[in-house]
Amino acid sequence: MLVYVLRRLLLTIPLLIAVSLVVFAVVSSFPGDPCREQLGQHPTPEALEACRSSLNLDGPFHERYLRYLEGAVQLEFGHNIRTEEPVGEEILLKLPPTIELSFIALLLAFLVGNWIGTRSALKPGTWIDAVGQVLSLGGISIPVFWLGMMLISLFGVKLGWLPFSGWTASEVGPDFDFKTDFLLFEPLFRLRFDVFWNALGHIALPAIALSTIPLATITRMTRSSVLEEVNKDYVTTARAKGLSERKVITKHVRRNALIPVVTITGLQLGTLLSGAVLTETVFSWPGLGTYLVRGADETNYPVVMGCMLLFVTTFVLVNLFVDVLYHMIDPRIRDEGL
């Protein structure tokens, strides 16, 4: 097992280097001149040269890339053109809201999708199966930004059930002394459930909107996986031994059906990160998605490159984690020495 993990880690290093090269090349090809955006349309040649040097825009492509890679390894992505603050520090401030939103959305998608997918497979043709089919089709077809606006209009404006904006310490817990920027997790760990429920209300609508695509995928995968397992010989044997249907499903069918579901759930993190850009923009969520959109609007190369590299690197590392987890769950892979 350790050898497998080390081999996968070594294979990840050249992949991350290739990813950083692609991100750098794509962002470098963006139209516009960030120095002219910062200095105006008629800067002095000396100021323009100094700006381009500070933003790593001067010199041949390979030299600029090597300087960028050296900084990225040290978690230094340059300075924000507008605020002149280190991009790495700003990313750390924007990261907690995105982590909490993605976690709640993925947890919601996994729990609901796994339950509906299992029920749909065990009772095909019933109303629960029809609900699962509708969720699967709607989750993939409905644009996230449109669904977000509909949720705001219905539950936030007309019914007034849930807040649809505001994710600051003063709004979530005005009488709570936050020590971190995790406004949802910290109250839970410190057993302040009143603040936790208030934070959960603030995060509910964006989490529902963000969870639709992974929910649809997990529901469909769970349904097909359970349908495949429930008709196998070992399930028939378990039933013939007199095991209750509940034990057959929970101990045998669901455990084996969970293997591909776990894999696809991990891969949905990439979908959540890309979908978070739209969701955070609609709900004015102070996370990395909003930060990236603002950076792109301002032709802020360090911000765009830092966010894109973080998103893609996270997706690669999650894939690595999923591969290792799959290797641990499925004994057939361990026995084959893969």
Over the stretch 108-132, which tens digit does the pLDDT of each residue have? 998 998 888 888 888 887 888 888 8
Number of domains in the chain: 1
Residue 111's CATH number: 1.10.3720.10
Q: Pseudo-torsion of CA 123, 128, 130, 136, nearest 10°? A: -110
Between 232 and 328, the higher pLDDT residue: 232
Domain for residue 288, yes or no? yes
Radius of gyration of the chain (CA): 24
> What's the pLDDT score for residue 333?
57
Domain for residue 32, yes or no? no
Domain for residue 21, yes or no? no
Domain for residue 28, yes or no? no
Domain for residue 201, yes or no? yes
* Confidence band, pLDDT 50/70/90 cuts, at residue 89: confident
pLDDT digits (tens, 9 = 90+) for 17-42: 888 888 888 887 777 667 766 666 67
* Confidence band, pLDDT 50/70/90 cuts, at residue 266: confident
> What's the pLDDT score for residue 235?
80
> What's the pLDDT score for residue 197?
92
Q: Is the per-residue pLDDT at 295 higher than 60?
A: yes
Structural domain including 139 reads 99-299
Domain for residue 2, yes or no? no
Domain for residue 105, yes or no? yes
| Beta carbons of 26 and 61 less than 8 angstroms apart | no
State what percent of residues in the chain have pLDDT above 70.
91
> What's the pLDDT score for residue 26?
83
Domain for residue 1, yes or no? no
Task: Count other C-beta atoms under 10 Å from residue 335's C-beta.
Answer: 8
> What's the pLDDT score for residue 40?
67
* Confidence band, pLDDT 50/70/90 cuts, at residue 136: confident
> What's the pLDDT score for residue 332?
60
Half-sphere exposure of 226 (CA within 13 A, CB side): 24
Q: What is the mean pLDDT of residues 278-291?
A: 86
pLDDT digits (tens, 9 = 90+) for 156-200: 888 888 887 778 888 888 888 888 889 999 999 999 999 999 999
Task: Count other C-beta atoms under 10 Å from residue 129's C-beta.
Answer: 18
User: Mean pLDDT for the chain?
Assistant: 82
* Confidence band, pLDDT 50/70/90 cuts, at residue 104: very high
pTM above 0.85, yes or no: no
Q: Is the per-residue pLDDT at 337 higher than 80?
A: no
pLDDT digits (tens, 9 = 90+) for 298-334: 778 888 888 888 888 888 888 787 777 777 766 565 5
State what percent of residues in the chain have pLDDT above 90.
8
d(CA 65, CA 69): 6
